[in-house]
Amino acid sequence: MTRVHQLVSLFSISVFAALTTLSTPIVQAEVVNVDMVVQEVDIPVDNEGTTQKMWTYNGTVPGPVVRVKQGDIVNFTLINDKSNKNSHSMDFHAAIVDVLDEFSEIKPGDTKKFQFEAKYPGAFVYHCGASSMAEHISRGMYGVILVDPREGYSETYPRPDREYVIVQGDLFKAGTSAEDRKWGKDWQGALINGKMFHYDPVHDENATLALESKPGERVRFYYVNAQINDPVALHPIAGIWDRVYDNGNPKNISYGMQTFNIPPAHAITVDLVSPGDRPSNNAIVDHAMKRALNGAITVLLNNEDADPDKGRDGNLVIR
Ligand code: CU
Ligand code: CU
């Protein structure tokens, strides 16, 4: 069978499976085209505007959020811009493929295409796998692919009022070698969606952004650990995770959790519900002090006048 035939039959199987499950909504699998261009660029890494040479997908850290439904076929194109100096690749954790084929690196000026079925629901990291991975990842080559469950929302996976994507990565001193990065030498801080203390006006006077919701709303965070060595001890100060979905899979539920471990190259989905009868605030932290006090704190303001656009209609990464 040719590759195209295999994909067509995969596609048919997914649609057939969806159509025959009468107790659940009928959701058709789709082919989703995703294109990314690798760009090696100088961009701000803190709220003050300090820039560093980062390696990126589409010019931002993290790269674009990819969102598909379980069973969809992702038709991916990677372009390594000819002005770049390094080879790069793409490793989607949501894909079941061949590391030496689909995930192999390409030189500046080259293009690579591959396809995969998003078989399992959840929040999955994607990252560059070119050598040295320690350098490529810690320079910003990562992001998240969300695979929404085929069944949609349910009693145990309720529809959230708002959704935010947070990706925590490393920041090293400018010019740190690949070898030193690997050993954690000259580590400078934790990046939250590309900047230290990105959404924390309490600890950083230059911060202008915070996350927002209304009192009582269910806020869902897709929290991704893109650090190369360290776990994330994710805790909502002045709150309790109402639910934690490990790997973002609605079947992996823990209730009423205080702190949840996210190993490197893993992601979780967590729900927070603030009191409905008063304004309140939470600080979403990596409770390991080394990282919390060096960038990994995010403020969530629960107020009646919350910005209606934040965390809604695809506005998941606040910039
Ligand atoms: Cu790379
Ligand atoms: Cu990986």
Please report the domains of the chain, with CATH numbers, ordered by start residue.
31-148 (2.60.40.420), 162-302 (2.60.40.420)
- How many CA atoms lie within 13 Å of 244's alpha carbon, on the beta-carbon side? 20
Closest listed ligand to the CA of 88: 1
CA distance 200 to 294: 12
CA distance 219 to 300: 10
Q: What is the pLDDT along the chain (319 residues), one digit of tens a residue?
A: 444 444 434 444 343 334 334 445 556 889 999 999 999 999 999 999 999 999 999 999 999 999 999 999 999 999 999 999 999 999 999 999 999 999 999 999 999 999 999 999 999 999 999 999 999 999 999 999 999 999 999 999 999 999 999 999 999 999 999 999 999 999 999 999 999 999 999 999 999 999 999 999 999 999 999 999 999 999 999 999 999 999 999 999 999 999 999 999 999 999 999 999 999 999 999 999 999 999 999 999 999 999 999 999 989 999 9
Closest listed ligand to the CA of 140: 1
Query: Which residues, chain by chain, have CB under 5 Å from ion ligand 2?
Result: 91, 265
User: Quick one: which of 207, 210, 195 has its CA closest to 296?
Assistant: 195
Count of other CB atoms within 10 angstroms of residue 152: 14
CA of 185 to the centre of ligand 1 (A): 20
CA of 113 to the centre of ligand 1 (A): 16
pTM reported for the whole predicted model:
0.91
CA of 26 to the centre of ligand 1 (A): 39
Q: What is the DSSP string of 98-128?
A: -TTTTT--B-TT-EEEEEEE--S-EEEEEE-
CA of 135 to the centre of ligand 2 (A): 13
Closest listed ligand to the CA of 56: 1
CA of 133 to the centre of ligand 1 (A): 7
CA of 109 to the centre of ligand 1 (A): 14
CA distance 238 to 282: 6
Q: Name the strands in the sheet holding 31-44, side by side, starting at the edge strand that comes first in the sequence.
A: 51-57, 31-44, 73-80, 111-117
